[in-house]
Every structure is written in structure tokens, then in C-alpha cells.
């Protein structure tokens, strides 16, 4: 009985391993194909380009990096994700990077003020807050007013983070008086409290819900102008690969880039 019970799990693990192998070998094939292609996207610049991006862009930029590398043989896109404020600070301290994409314009402005960007940053996406609730929505949350219900536990980002600044605006505009149970340090930490079902609701970005999959459910919030963050991207003046950096900005703002971003839950600029 025990052996029987164990076998499907073993088979599952084997299948997963096989799938992983297949996926990596397929990916390798894909690279080979593009390597043998026309190379029309080549700019003369090869090597590694460093892209710094807000944590919420992890999935979208990951996919775009694959596309970019395919179009530019010999180029490797190195992505680093962190909170926008941390990345902007790193750029201002002289970190070697070619492109910066942040989750709000205030943060990007700190780099513009130091003449850290080439020209004006381009806004390429928007994001707004929604409520994440645990799978099955145990507390029966249907609108933001339900956060005021007795016994409802909700979490937000701390107000030093862009998502927390936005949460304060949204909660004020909705007249919610109940205090959050916790102010988490960033949006991923806020989401994980909901994923673990320790909180009945969390205010997170619409894009985070998409990437969280089926562990959480979404409850929409009103999306007036108060509830909106705009994402700027810019080639940096300290770039080692200025042409590639410019092309990355072009890709992100192109139709192709917009499709990937929309799929990841971002809004149009």
C-alpha cells in the first residue's frame, strides 16, 4: 500500500524532471536557431547589457530579455530586480548599468536630477492596486468597504514604498477607517501574507495577481486617477552599451513590448 502510494509521486517527480530537461533543451535549440539567423538586429555592440528594473517587472522583463537576446546574437541581457528606490540609489552611486525602469516617476526623477539618464525617460506601463484575497475568499471580501468589517485582517505595503503610498491614497479615498494588521516592506511580502492565508486581504498591484497564479483571487478596486502608478524607463548616461540600451527602451515601448506587459497584467501608458 505504501509503495503504491509512493509511486505516483515518484512518477510525478520524474515527469517534472523530464519536462524541465525538455524545456531547457528546447530553449537551447531556440538559441541555436537564432544564432544561425540573419542577425539583422545586430548593432555591433555585443556582450552583457545590465538592466535594472522594479521587482514588479520580473516576469515581463524576463520574457522580453529572451526576445531581445534572440534578436541580438552575442548579446546577453543581465536583469537585476529590486525595489525602485534601491535601484535608483544604486544608479546614483555609480552602479554599472545600462537601463533603469522604475515603478513610479518620483523615483526615476532622482536619477534624472543627477543627469543620470540619456534624455527624458519614457513611460511604458501603468499599474494599479487591487485586493488579493486567499483562495476561496474565506472572509467574503467583495469591495474595499469590507476591510472595515469586524474581524477582517488586511495588510498593505509600508508607506515608504510606492505601493504603500498608493495604498494610503486608495484607503483614504474610500473612507476605510480600520487599520491594517501589518505594513509589509514591499509588495511581494504583502502578497505572501495573503498567499499564506494569514491575512484576509492585501493591497497589491494588478500585475502581482497575474504572476501569483491561483493561490490568490482578485477583488477589483476603483481605478480612478488616484489609483495609478506610471512606470518610466530610461537609458542611462553611464551605459557601457548605449546603443543596446536605446534599443531596449524601444523594445519595451514597442507593440511587442506592450503585448508582453499587458499579458503580465500591466496597463497601457
Partner 1 sequence: MSTRSRSRPALGRAPALLLVPAGLAVLFLLLPLVALLERTPWPDLPSRLVAPDIVDALRLSFITSTLAVVLVVLIGIPLAWTLARVEFPGRALVRAFVIVPLVLPPVVGGVALLTAFGRRGLIGGPVYDATGYSLPFTTAAVVVAHAFVSLPFFVLSVEGAMRATNREYDVVAATLGATRWTTFRRVTLPLAGPGLLAGLVLAWARALGEFGATITFAGNYPGTTRTMPNAIYVALQADPDAAIVLSVILMVVSVAVLALLRERWFDPAVQGATRP
- Where on the chain is the footprint of partner 1 (CB under 8 A)? 83, 85-86, 151, 153, 155, 158, 160-161, 179-185, 189, 193, 196-199
Give the nearest distance from C-beta 16 to partner 1 in angstroms.
Answer: 23
Q: Which is nearer to partner 1, 183 or 226 (CB)?
A: 183
Q: Which is nearer to partner 1, 85 or 101 (CB)?
A: 85
Spell out the alpha helix ranges (H) of the chain: 2-35, 58-71, 84-92, 105-112, 162-174, 187-195, 206-212, 242-253, 255-263
Taking CA atoms, 161 is separated from 54, 95, 241, in Å, by 11, 21, 30
Give the nearest distance from C-beta 182 to partner 1 in angstroms.
Answer: 3
Give the nearest distance from C-beta 185 to partner 1 in angstroms.
Answer: 7
Does residue 210 contact residue 265 with C-beta atoms inside 8 Å?
Answer: yes
**Residue 238 DSSP symbol:** T
User: For residues 39 and 269, what is the distance between their CA atoms, to the nearest angstrom?
Assistant: 31
Q: Which is nearer to partner 1, 34 or 192 (CB)?
A: 192
Q: Which is nearer to partner 1, 181 or 228 (CB)?
A: 181
Give backbone dihedrals phi and psi of 76, rounded to 5 degrees, phi first.
-115, 125
Give the nearest distance from C-beta 103 to partner 1 in angstroms.
Answer: 13
Amino acid at each position: 500500500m505504501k509503495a503504491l502510494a509512493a509511486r505516483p509521486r515518484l512518477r510525478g517527480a520524474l515527469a517534472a524532471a523530464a519536462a524541465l530537461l525538455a524545456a531547457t533543451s528546447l530553449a537551447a535549440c531556440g538559441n541555436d536557431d537564432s544564432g544561425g539567423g540573419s542577425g539583422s538586429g545586430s548593432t555591433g555592440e555585443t556582450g552583457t547589457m545590465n538592466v535594472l528594473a522594479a521587482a514588479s517587472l520580473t516576469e515581463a522583463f524576463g520574457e522580453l530579455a529572451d526576445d531581445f537576446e534572440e534578436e541580438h546574437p552575442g548579446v546577453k541581457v543581465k536583469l537585476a530586480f529590486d525595489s525602485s528606490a534601491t535601484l535608483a540609489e544604486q544608479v546614483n552611486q555609480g552602479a554599472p548599468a545600462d537601463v533603469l525602469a522604475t515603478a513610479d516617476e518620483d523615483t526615476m526623477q532622482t536619477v534624472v536630477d543627477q543627469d543620470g539618464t540619456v534624455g527624458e525617460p519614457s513611460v511604458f506601463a501603468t499599474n494599479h492596486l487591487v485586493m488579493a484575497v486567499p483562495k476561496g475568499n474565506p472572509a467574503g471580501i467583495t469591495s474595499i468597504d469590507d476591510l472595515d468589517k469586524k474581524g477582517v485582517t488586511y495588510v498593505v505595503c509600508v508607506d515608504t514604498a510606492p505601493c504603500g503610498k498608493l495604498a494610503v491614497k486608495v484607503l483614504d479615498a474610500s473612507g476605510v477607517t480600520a487599520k491594517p494588521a501589518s505594513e509589509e516592506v514591499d509588495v511581494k511580502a504583502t502578497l505572501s501574507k495573503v498567499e499564506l492565508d494569514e491575512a484576509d486581504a492585501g493591497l497589491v498591484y494588478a500585475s502581482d495577481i497575474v504572476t501569483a497564479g491561483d493561490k490568490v483571487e482578485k477583488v477589483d478596486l476603483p481605478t480612478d486617477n488616484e489609483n495609478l502608478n506610471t512606470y518610466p524607463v530610461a537609458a542611462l548616461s553611464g551605459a557601457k552599451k548605449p546603443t543596446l540600451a536605446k534599443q531596449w527602451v524601444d523594445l519595451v515601448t514597442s507593440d511587442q513590448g506592450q503585448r508582453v506587459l499587458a499579458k503580465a497584467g500591466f496597463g497601457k501608458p
